Amino acid sequence: MITPDFPATFQKVSDLINLNPEDLLLRICQLLKQEIYHYDWVGFYILDQEKNELVLGPYVGKPTPHTNIAVGKGICGQVAESGRTMVVQDVSQVENYISCGLDVQSEIVVPILKDGLFVAELDIDSHSPAPFTSDDSKFLARICELLADRI
Protein backbone atom coordinates (compact mmCIF):
# COMPACT_ATOMS: atom_id res chain seq x y z
CA MET A 1 0.00 0.00 0.00
CA ILE A 2 1.27 3.44 -0.92
CA THR A 3 1.07 5.97 1.89
CA PRO A 4 -0.54 9.17 0.62
CA ASP A 5 1.26 12.46 1.21
CA PHE A 6 -1.75 14.28 2.64
CA PRO A 7 0.13 17.46 3.67
CA ALA A 8 1.61 17.97 0.18
CA THR A 9 -1.73 17.28 -1.48
CA PHE A 10 -3.52 19.65 0.89
CA GLN A 11 -1.05 22.38 -0.06
CA LYS A 12 -1.81 21.78 -3.75
CA VAL A 13 -5.53 22.09 -3.00
CA SER A 14 -4.92 25.30 -1.04
CA ASP A 15 -3.04 26.74 -4.00
CA LEU A 16 -6.23 26.42 -6.11
CA ILE A 17 -8.55 28.22 -3.70
CA ASN A 18 -8.87 31.46 -5.72
CA LEU A 19 -10.28 29.75 -8.82
CA ASN A 20 -13.97 30.29 -9.58
CA PRO A 21 -16.09 27.75 -7.65
CA GLU A 22 -16.88 25.43 -10.59
CA ASP A 23 -13.25 25.23 -11.74
CA LEU A 24 -12.07 24.91 -8.14
CA LEU A 25 -14.24 21.86 -7.45
CA LEU A 26 -13.28 20.15 -10.71
CA ARG A 27 -9.57 20.77 -10.17
CA ILE A 28 -9.82 19.41 -6.62
CA CYS A 29 -11.50 16.26 -7.96
CA GLN A 30 -8.76 15.81 -10.55
CA LEU A 31 -6.01 16.43 -8.03
CA LEU A 32 -7.38 14.04 -5.41
CA LYS A 33 -7.92 11.23 -7.92
CA GLN A 34 -4.42 11.74 -9.32
CA GLU A 35 -2.62 12.03 -5.96
CA ILE A 36 -4.35 9.43 -3.77
CA TYR A 37 -4.13 5.89 -5.15
CA HIS A 38 -7.34 4.60 -3.55
CA TYR A 39 -9.57 7.49 -4.68
CA ASP A 40 -11.18 6.04 -7.82
CA TRP A 41 -14.22 8.31 -8.14
CA VAL A 42 -14.17 11.81 -6.66
CA GLY A 43 -17.06 14.23 -6.86
CA PHE A 44 -19.14 16.88 -5.20
CA TYR A 45 -22.86 16.91 -4.54
CA ILE A 46 -24.46 20.30 -3.92
CA LEU A 47 -27.64 20.73 -1.87
CA ASP A 48 -30.72 22.05 -3.67
CA GLN A 49 -32.63 23.30 -0.63
CA GLU A 50 -35.90 23.86 -2.48
CA LYS A 51 -36.07 20.26 -3.71
CA ASN A 52 -34.36 18.81 -0.60
CA GLU A 53 -32.00 16.84 -2.81
CA LEU A 54 -28.36 16.61 -3.75
CA VAL A 55 -27.34 17.57 -7.27
CA LEU A 56 -24.18 16.16 -8.80
CA GLY A 57 -21.52 18.79 -9.34
CA PRO A 58 -18.03 18.41 -10.77
CA TYR A 59 -16.54 14.91 -10.58
CA VAL A 60 -13.91 12.63 -12.09
CA GLY A 61 -14.27 8.91 -12.64
CA LYS A 62 -16.83 6.76 -14.39
CA PRO A 63 -20.11 8.48 -15.22
CA THR A 64 -22.86 7.94 -12.65
CA PRO A 65 -26.61 7.79 -13.20
CA HIS A 66 -27.05 9.30 -9.74
CA THR A 67 -27.21 12.97 -10.64
CA ASN A 68 -29.92 13.71 -8.04
CA ILE A 69 -30.13 12.04 -4.63
CA ALA A 70 -32.86 12.70 -2.09
CA VAL A 71 -31.68 13.85 1.32
CA GLY A 72 -31.68 10.77 3.56
CA LYS A 73 -31.20 8.23 0.73
CA GLY A 74 -27.98 6.24 0.45
CA ILE A 75 -24.71 7.24 2.04
CA CYS A 76 -24.65 10.66 0.39
CA GLY A 77 -28.20 11.45 1.45
CA GLN A 78 -27.50 10.33 5.02
CA VAL A 79 -24.50 12.66 5.24
CA ALA A 80 -26.66 15.52 3.93
CA GLU A 81 -29.20 14.74 6.64
CA SER A 82 -26.76 14.28 9.54
CA GLY A 83 -24.01 16.73 8.57
CA ARG A 84 -21.44 14.13 9.66
CA THR A 85 -18.77 12.23 7.75
CA MET A 86 -19.54 8.63 6.87
CA VAL A 87 -16.88 6.05 6.15
CA VAL A 88 -18.10 2.76 4.71
CA GLN A 89 -15.32 0.21 4.34
CA ASP A 90 -17.61 -2.38 2.69
CA VAL A 91 -20.54 -0.96 0.74
CA SER A 92 -22.14 -4.42 0.43
CA GLN A 93 -22.93 -4.17 4.17
CA VAL A 94 -25.03 -0.99 3.83
CA GLU A 95 -28.74 -1.63 3.45
CA ASN A 96 -29.72 1.51 1.53
CA TYR A 97 -26.47 1.88 -0.44
CA ILE A 98 -26.93 3.43 -3.89
CA SER A 99 -24.46 1.66 -6.16
CA CYS A 100 -22.47 3.67 -8.66
CA GLY A 101 -20.76 0.63 -10.12
CA LEU A 102 -19.76 -2.96 -9.46
CA ASP A 103 -16.12 -1.96 -8.86
CA VAL A 104 -16.94 0.21 -5.83
CA GLN A 105 -16.02 -1.52 -2.58
CA SER A 106 -15.83 1.38 -0.15
CA GLU A 107 -16.86 5.02 0.17
CA ILE A 108 -16.21 8.11 2.26
CA VAL A 109 -18.50 11.13 2.20
CA VAL A 110 -17.54 14.36 3.96
CA PRO A 111 -19.97 17.25 4.49
CA ILE A 112 -19.27 20.86 3.65
CA LEU A 113 -20.87 23.07 6.27
CA LYS A 114 -21.29 26.82 5.93
CA ASP A 115 -22.10 28.61 9.18
CA GLY A 116 -22.96 25.19 10.62
CA LEU A 117 -25.42 24.31 7.86
CA PHE A 118 -24.97 21.57 5.27
CA VAL A 119 -24.44 23.00 1.76
CA ALA A 120 -22.55 20.28 -0.14
CA GLU A 121 -20.40 17.20 0.23
CA LEU A 122 -17.30 15.52 -1.11
CA ASP A 123 -17.95 11.92 -2.14
CA ILE A 124 -15.14 9.45 -2.81
CA ASP A 125 -15.54 5.86 -3.98
CA SER A 126 -12.75 3.31 -3.88
CA HIS A 127 -12.27 0.05 -5.73
CA SER A 128 -10.05 -1.09 -2.84
CA PRO A 129 -11.42 -2.95 0.16
CA ALA A 130 -11.38 -0.92 3.40
CA PRO A 131 -8.74 1.65 2.37
CA PHE A 132 -9.94 4.65 4.37
CA THR A 133 -8.22 5.62 7.61
CA SER A 134 -8.72 8.40 10.11
CA ASP A 135 -6.03 10.28 8.14
CA ASP A 136 -8.33 10.29 5.09
CA SER A 137 -11.17 11.64 7.22
CA LYS A 138 -9.06 14.41 8.73
CA PHE A 139 -7.48 15.34 5.38
CA LEU A 140 -10.82 15.52 3.57
CA ALA A 141 -12.44 17.42 6.45
CA ARG A 142 -9.72 20.07 6.14
CA ILE A 143 -10.43 20.40 2.42
CA CYS A 144 -14.17 20.73 3.08
CA GLU A 145 -13.54 23.39 5.74
CA LEU A 146 -11.44 25.28 3.20
CA LEU A 147 -14.31 25.11 0.69
CA ALA A 148 -17.09 26.20 3.06
CA ASP A 149 -16.89 29.85 1.98
CA ARG A 150 -16.31 29.07 -1.70
CA ILE A 151 -19.50 27.15 -2.48
Q: Which domain holds residue 49?
A: 6-147
Determine how β-strand 86-88 pairs with β-strand 53-60. unpaired
In a domain, 28, yes or no: yes
Number of other CB atoms surrounding residue 86 within 10 Å: 19
| pLDDT tens digits, 132-146 | 999 999 999 999 999
- pLDDT per residue as tens digits for the range 92-131: 887 776 766 678 899 999 999 999 999 999 999 999 999 9
Domain with 105 in it: what CATH number? 3.30.450.40
pTM of the model: 0.95
- Cβ contacts of 43 within 8 Å, gap of 6 or more: 29, 56, 57, 58, 59, 60, 61, 64, 122, 123
Q: How many domains does the chain have?
A: 1
Q: How confident is the model at residue 93, as a pLDDT?
A: 84
68-to-38, 65, 72, 85 alpha-carbon distances in Å: 25, 9, 12, 19
The answer, yes or no, to whether residue 1 has pLDDT greater than 70, is no
Residue 106 is which amino acid? S
pLDDT tens sequence across 34-84: 999 999 999 999 999 999 999 999 999 999 989 999 999 999 999 999 999
Question: Would you say residue 77 lies in a domain?
Answer: yes
Considering the domain boundaries, does residue 1 fall inside one? no
